[in-house]
Chain A
Amino acid sequence: MQDIALPLIGGMIIGLATSIMLAFNGKITGISGIISQSLEMPKAKNYWRYMFLAGLLAGGTFMLYFSPQYFFYSLNFSLYEAIAAGLFVGVGAVLGSGCTSGHGVCGLARLSGRSFAATLIFMGMAIVTVFIRGLL
C-alpha cells in the first residue's frame, strides 16, 4: 500500500507545484531550463528561477529535517560515472529543450507532441543505458 500511495501522492504534489507555477506566474516548470537560464550574469528576469531553485533546496531541507528516512539510500555509482552523467544530462537537456519535469510532467499533460517524442526517446535511451551498464 505504502509503495503505491507514496509515489502516487508524491507525483500529484509535483503536479501541484507545477500547476501553481503555471497558474500564478504563467510559466512551465522545466527544471533543466530553469537551471541553464540561470547560468548567466545575475539579472532581474532570472530572479524567479533563483527563487525556484532556493525553494527546491528549502523543501528538501524541510523533508530532511522532519523525515530523514527518505534520504537513507546509498549512491551506487563512481565519481567518473557521475561526471559522465552530468555531461550527457547537461548537453541533452539544453539541446532537447527539457528534461523529465519540462517534457514529462508538464509536456505530456499539455498533450505536446514534442514532449511525447522527447519522453519516449529519453525513457528508451535510459532503459538501454541501464541495460548496457548492467552488462559491463
Chain B
Amino acid sequence: MSLFVSFISGAIFSVGLVISGMINPNKVIGFLNIFEQWDYSLALVMGGAVAFNLIAFKLIKRIQTPLLGEKFHWPTKNDIDRKLIFGAGLFGIGWGIIGICPGPGVVNLLLFDHKVIAFILSMLFAMASYKFIAKKLE
C-alpha cells in the first residue's frame, strides 16, 4: 500500500511539475536570469509549494506516526557544514548551466532527447562515483 502511495506521490509531483512549467528549462533559466526579461514563474512555484507545505507539514506533525509507516524519517543533521555549502554551490552551478535539476530531468526523459539522456546519465555517474569515493575514504 505504501508502495502505491509512493507511486501516486510521484505521479502527482510530476503533474505539478508539468503544470507549473518547471520541466521547461527555458523558464527556469528565465527565472535565474535576473538581469534580463525576468520570468518570475519559479518564484510562484516554489512559493505555492512551500506555502502549501508550511500548513500541511504542521498538520502532519501532529500525528505520532505516519498513516502507513512505522515512524517519520526526519533528516538528522542540523548544522550548516562545509559539505552542505560546497554541495549546494556545486548543485547551483550545475542547475544554472542548463536549468534542469533531478525531478524535471527525469520527466524530460519523456522527450527522448539525447541531451536529456546525457544529462541524466552524467548525473547518475557523478552520484555513483562520489558515493563510491566517499565510502572508500571513510
A residues sitting closer than 8 Å to B (CB atoms) are: 3-4, 6-29, 31-32, 35-36, 39, 47-49, 51-64, 67, 70-71, 73-79, 81-97, 99-101, 103-110, 112-114, 117-119, 121-131, 133-134
B19 within 8 A of A: yes
Chain A residue nearest to B87 (CB atoms) is: A96
Nearest Cβ in chain B — how far from A132, in angstroms?
8
11 residue pairs A–B, Cβ–Cβ below 8 Å:
A10-B22, A23-B56, A36-B128, A51-B6, A56-B11, A70-B18, A75-B111, A104-B50, A109-B56, A121-B92, A122-B89
Interface size counted on chain B using CB atoms at 8 A: 109
Whether the pair B34, A97 counts as a contact (CB closer than 8 A) is no
Question: Do residues A28 and B75 form an inter-chain contact, with CB atoms below 8 A?
Answer: yes
A4 to B111, CA, bound (A): 26
Cβ of B9: which chain A residues have Cβ within 8 Å of it? 17-18, 20-21, 24-25, 29, 52, 55
Interface contact tally, CB-CB below 8 A = 454
A86-B119, A89-B95 given; A11·B52 CB < 8 A: yes
A-side contacts of B118, CB under 8 Å: 79, 82-83, 86
Residues of B whose CB lies within 8 Å of any CB of A are 2-26, 29, 32-36, 41-42, 44-54, 56-57, 60, 63, 65-75, 77-80, 83-103, 105-107, 109-111, 113-116, 118-131, 134
Q: By the criterion CB–CB under 8 Å, are B71 and A11 in contact?
A: no
> Contacts A114-B80, A127-B34 hold; do A109 and B53 have CB atoms under 8 A apart?
yes
Question: Which residues of chain A have C-beta atoms less than 8 A from B129's C-beta?
Answer: 90-91
